[in-house]
Amino acid sequence: MLLVKCTGEILDKEIMQKFAETDHRKQRELERSIQKVTNMQIPEGLPFYFIADEDEGSVTIGALVDRLEDLESGLRRFLSSLNISLSNIEYEEVIIRQFRDMLDDAHSNRFVQNARNICNEYGMEELYDLWGNDYYEKILEDAEERHIISKAEKMYIGNTLVPEIKRIYEGKKIKKAEGHPVHYMIQANDNELKDETINLLYQALYDNKRINSKRMTVVHVEENRGFRRGDMRSKIECFYKAGKGGAVVIDYHGEEEAEGEYASTHRDTIKMLSEIMNKYSNNVLTIYCFPKECTKIKGWYYEYLGDVSMVELKEEFVSGTEARNVLSKKASEHHVRTDKELMAHISDDNKYLLRDLDKDFDLWYRKKLKRTVYPQYQCIETASMKKSTEAPKGTAYEELSKMIGLTNAKKVINQALDYYKAQKVFRDRGIDQDHPSMHMVFTGNPGTAKTTVARLFADIMKDNGILSTGKLVEVGRGDLVGKYVGWTATIVKDRFNDAKGGVLFVDEAYSLVDDRNGMFGDEAINTIVQEMENHRDEVVVIFAGYPDKMEEFLDKNPGLRSRIAFHVSFDDYNVEELCEISKIFADKKGMHFTDEAMERLKEVFLVAIEQPDFGNGRYVRNVIEKARMAQSTRLLSKNIDDITKEDILTFSAEDIELPKVKVEKHFKMGFACA
């Protein structure tokens, strides 16, 4: 259906005075008469007209019609019912958001009684509050055949797009569009190329009267993102209902390598999309978009589309010889000579995308300018070089670097930072890779700094521009599992929303494993797996727990282990590391140990690390706290006047308490003789 904004000037001065009336009673009479005429249209279905606003004789009218041919005659009937005549009438097709804004204005001006009810009558009520990243609409400009083909010939999809545009114009123009003989598939990774292809294709179809509306709806469908699974079908069907006479673009983002239950989910989504498309295929043009070389996704579409005919538009590949010719031609256009570096990666055995060649040339040309045309700039580093050699930023990184031990954790965080630096370099080379999963498992005994490292990791990722907020949301079983059936999934999703832009730290994650299958813990784990995929670009999940118990947790859901990129083991601290940690703890309090006290600490730690419940860093903290209490007792036993500042800031050997060794008891069993 067409959504149109009509504007014009009122001819009758008497009518103008009625709109400007200050008498509330007379003004209300005018409003009621307009509402009456407007309401009479609703049960009849299309077309529908309403007055949105009036300002000093200039009137804005909203129109909802099936065809442009019906617009003017319907507007005349509507205005005649109100005894209004307009001059200088202009028409402008608008998107749903603009149309509903006009309805809201009409409601505010009391020209319609209820804007939402009207949206509901015409199938737009469900879309009334839906906006954001899930879809967008646009109105395309008019274009002529010569202009459209000229632009298409210069694009890297021209070998399939140009013949289709010419085929569109081969047919005779008809006064009223009647169905769609074909629909379209566009396979391209480059978003700019994809969008321009859609625009030119759509302009050609509109110019040849194959579609009625300039309004196009682009729906982003990505499994486990955007629309909730339960209402995806109803929302997408609303787009088709509202898109009658125009087009719906399904921009599908799926994983070609998906396996198992996730491949099945992708298949089900494509089946659902195909069913809706078949239902509305005569009234709405469908343009499917998905990445190039996604043969599995394309195969699923063809499996479910049935008798629908599809025209495929793909990015172009050229041979090695053609690629050299393309690069040579571009060099000639830029008035420079080719060299071995430009042609080095071209092989006769390979095929090349023209867009990739374009990016390769741009990179080579920038170097060429610095080397030969403007050699005085050879010493200036590229932004990529500066970024790749830049040291990690932030106090959190410095704090982590100074921490004792943690070799594995430091290695993983440096790998993550290096990866994102490399992606910047790769993008400059025309290679745009998928965003990797950064989810992690931290395994280690108590006191090995798992929580501290998680907090620092979040801060480091924020300081270096990888995570937006860097906040740490720490949760345990009690924060994820609801009291009643159905609560848990909602709670888990809320915690993920809380952690957007940061880290969700699940401590003692193994506690989610229940004794029996199908309990609340299973629901929590299954929802976590789903939300990890939903928020993979904006939330990093870190699971933490004891090494032996975490294996059972990871085995609980088949998709859990595959979504975790890094397994970081936090080893127990040795005696030397514990002594260094003790010095750091004491230094934070402005204190230090005598040499004898350090020797006593070594004795303490040699015994402690052999105990089954050894607490690593927590144990060190307890030792220091006990030493402070012992020091207080020792100092107070002296003459108060003799206590110096140095005495207060120094731990001595007698302040360090040797641990009590736990001895396992062995009981002998036997029989007593009477």
Q: Which of 556-565, 641-650, 664-673 has the lowest mean pLDDT?
A: 664-673
Nearest to 96 by CA among 133, 137, 67, 62: 137
More confident residue, 500 or 536: 500
Distances (CA, A) of 371 to 139, 381, 387, 473: 46, 13, 21, 51
Alpha-carbon span 444 to 609, nearest angstrom:
14
Range in 278-287, 376-385, 442-451, 537-546 the model is least confident about: 376-385
388 band by pLDDT with thresholds 50, 70 and 90: very low
Helices 487-498 & 520-534 angle (0-180, nearest 10)? 40
Q: 82 φ, ψ to 5°? A: -100, 0
Q: Name the residue with tokens 């209490």.
A: 629
Q: In this predicted structure, what is the pLDDT of residue 380?
A: 64
Residue 332 has pLDDT above 80, yes or no: yes
Q: Is the pLDDT of residue 226 over 50?
A: no
pLDDT of residue 674: 40
Structure tokens at 82: 């109100």
CB atoms within 10 A of CB 577: 18
- Radius of gyration over every alpha carbon of the chain, rounded to an integer in angstroms: 35
For 119-175, write each residue's pLDDT tens digit.
Answer: 777 767 666 555 555 788 889 888 888 999 998 888 877 788 899 999 988 877 666
Tell me, what's the pLDDT at 230? Answer: 53
Note whether 449 and 584 are within 8 A (CB).
no
Question: Does residue 85 carry a pLDDT above 60?
Answer: yes
pLDDT digit string, tens, across residues 258-307? 444 555 677 888 899 999 999 999 889 999 998 876 778 888 888 898 88
Distance of CA 666 to the CA centre of its chain: 59
Q: How far apart are CA 509 and CA 511, in angstroms?
A: 5
Q: Do residues 202 and 211 touch, judged by C-beta distance below 8 A?
A: yes
| Per-residue pLDDT band at 377 (split at 50, 70, 90) | low
Indicate the pLDDT class of residue 429, thresholds 50, 70 and 90.
Answer: low
Across all residues in the chain, what is the average pLDDT?
Answer: 82
pLDDT in tens, 614-657: 788 888 888 888 999 998 998 888 888 888 888 888 999 898 88
Whether residue 256 has pLDDT greater than 60: no
In this structure, which amino acid lies at residue 578?
L
Task: State how beta strands 650-651 and 592-593 pair.
Answer: parallel
How do residues 17-40 score in pLDDT, each as one tens digit?
888 877 888 888 888 988 888 888
**Residue 120: both structure tokens together:** 């509901």
For range 296-325, the mean pLDDT: 85
375 prior amide bond cis, ω within 30: no
pLDDT for position 287: 94
Ranges assigned E (strand) in 188-283: 215-222, 247-253
- What DSSP line would sit under 589-648, residue for residue? TT-EE-HHHHHHHHHHHHHHTTSTT--THHHHHHHHHHHHHHHHHHHHTS-GGG--HHHH
Alpha helices in 280-353 (DSSP H): 295-305, 320-333, 340-343
What's the pLDDT at 669? 47
Q: In this predicted structure, what is the pLDDT of residue 381?
A: 56
